[in-house]
Amino acid sequence: MMSNIAINLMENFMKITSIKCEILDNDYPFIFVHTDQDIIGFGECFRRQPKVTKSIVENILEPALLGKDPVNTEQRFIDMSKSGNALEIGGAIWIAIAGIDIALWDIKGKSLNKPIYELLGGKTRSKMPVYASSMKRDLTPKEEAKRAVYYAEKGFKGYKLHSAVPGKIDDDADQTIETVTEVRKAVGDAFDILVDVNGAYSVHHAIEIGKQLEQLGVFHFEEPRPHYDLDGLAKVSESLDIPVASGENIYTEYEYKDLILKGKVDIVQPDIVKTPGFTTFIKVSKLADIFGIPLTCHNTQPIISTIAHAHFVCSSENFPYAQEYNIEEISIRDKYPILENPLVISDGLLEIPEGPGLGVNFDMKMIKKLSR
């Protein structure tokens, strides 16, 4: 028979009372998980198709979690995966799960009065080095070079440019080599340059461009082929000395296994608001560690996504490089800031929030103003 103590523990666990997805400023889906102990967990989902994300969160995933213990993150992840048929449907379901999983880990940390990095094993470093990620595709080579110098002087550890046109394979308008040449002349040899072409090259052209990037001292060559062309990625990677990075557009540890073994990439690049949450990040990190592959975060969203990445990066030895930080204007960071206290970046180093859970609080008046 079950003891009275066990029965009391089962009856007194924290319970999820509601899960809401608020779309901020028409573009940014944020998660709020409420509990019967007045602890609220914050999460964020990848920003594409926010209405789809909101529908999945509130119509499919919330009913599967109501009344259950948010601290049992592994079981809640299984609940969400089953309710959403995630392994069959994929993408949109995983993105919704990602935001909720981050929020559940936030609740776990708050309930234990510990930062998430402590739940992951403790700090291996106190700050996260970041590089400036330029998302513009309409700059001339000289304009991009001028911009790179500005961020180098601010102390950022590198500069990533997005030079090719996604969806246009081997486009004649591509100025990758011209742009990298100008940036390298402007910043010198000691500053890292990263190049992301979003899968816009054929295999032979990717190899041709990659060899030129090697001569220009580029740090990594990102998505020379689309993530689903594992054979093509392998051919490019095996033909070049420059590290090939990929992984931002896949979700599960099973896909990352194929990316490593079949795609033969040199750097694995998960994104916590796609690769669903801390629960999956742990598995992907262990997988990469087994095969001796370093990780670097794909990170284009500078609020909860950046904070969650920082907690993971600073509790792991498998992220040896500077991490991505979006330098474009983001309304909810720059125009209508939603954090009570903004993140601090000084000399290219992001300070890790020290409070329980994610360690941050929202300006709820601003959240209400921007919600729809």
Domain boundaries of the chain, sorted by first residue: 4-113, 118-370
Q: Which of 129, 110, 99, 128 is nearest to 32 (CA)?
A: 99
Q: Which of 319, 271, 263, 323 is nearest to 295 (CA)?
A: 319
pLDDT average, residue stretch 343-347: 94
The CATH number corresponding to 118-370 among 1.10.12.10, 3.20.20.120, 3.30.1280.10, 3.30.70.100 equals 3.20.20.120
pLDDT of residue 200: 94
CATH class of 4-113: alpha beta
pLDDT of residue 364: 95
Kindly tell me if the per-residue pLDDT of 5 is higher than 60: no
192-196 vs 220-222, strand pairing mode: parallel
pLDDT tens, residue by residue, 21-32: 999 999 999 999
Kindly tell me if the per-residue pLDDT of 338 is higher than 60: yes
HSE value, Cβ hemisphere, 13 Å, CA-based, for 371: 14
pLDDT of residue 87: 80
pLDDT of residue 11: 56
Kindly tell me if the per-residue pLDDT of 4 is higher than 90: no
Band of pLDDT at residue 9, cut at 50, 70 and 90: very low
Q: Which of 211, 229, 227 is nearest to 270 (CA)?
A: 227
Q: What's the mean per-residue pLDDT of the chain?
A: 94
pLDDT tens, residue by residue, 215-225: 999 999 999 99
pLDDT of residue 163: 84
Kindly tell me if the per-residue pLDDT of 2 is higher than 70: no
Three-state secondary structure readout of the chain = CCCHHHHHHHHHCCCEEEEEEEEECCCEEEEEEEECCCCEEEEECCCCCHHHHHHHHHHHHHHHHCCCCCCCHHHHHHHHHHHCCHHHHCHHHHHHHHHHHHHHHHHHHHHHCCEHHHHCCCCCCCEEEEEEEECCCCCCHHHHHHHHHHHHHCCCCEEEEECCCCCCCCCCCCCHHHHHHHHHHHHCCCCEEEEECCCCCCHHHHHHHHHHHHHCCCCEEECCCCCCCHHHHHHHHHHCCCCEEECCCCCCHHHHHHHHHCCCCCEECCCCCCCCHHHHHHHHHHHHHHCCCCECCCCCCCCHHHHHHHHHHCCCCCCCCCEEEECCCCHHHHHCCCECCCCCEECCEEECCCCCECCCCECHHHHHHHCC
Q: Which residues contact 232 (CB under 8 A, 6 or more apart)?
A: 203, 206, 225, 226
d(CA 126, CA 105): 20
Band of pLDDT at residue 369, cut at 50, 70 and 90: very high
Band of pLDDT at residue 6, cut at 50, 70 and 90: very low
pTM of the model: 0.94
Q: With the C-alpha atoms ordered 134, 268, 71, 113, is the resulting torsion angle positive or negative?
A: negative
Band of pLDDT at residue 8, cut at 50, 70 and 90: very low
Band of pLDDT at residue 88, cut at 50, 70 and 90: confident
Kindly tell me if the per-residue pLDDT of 96 is higher than 50: yes
Angle at alpha carbon of residue 264, lines to 285 and 134, rounded to 5°: 70
Comparing 4-113 with 118-370, is the CATH topology the same? no
Instruction: Of 79-88, 94-103, 298-307, give the lowest mean pLDDT range.
Output: 79-88
Band of pLDDT at residue 355, cut at 50, 70 and 90: very high
pLDDT average, residue stretch 145-159: 96
pLDDT average, residue stretch 239-259: 97
pLDDT of residue 172: 87
d(CA 256, CA 270): 9
C-alpha distances out from residue 208 to 89, 223, 279, 360, Å:
36, 14, 39, 45
Band of pLDDT at residue 164, cut at 50, 70 and 90: confident
296 contacts 130 by C-beta, under 8 angstroms:
no
Band of pLDDT at residue 245, cut at 50, 70 and 90: very high
pLDDT of residue 351: 95
As a whole-number percent, the residues of the chain with pLDDT over 70 amount to 97
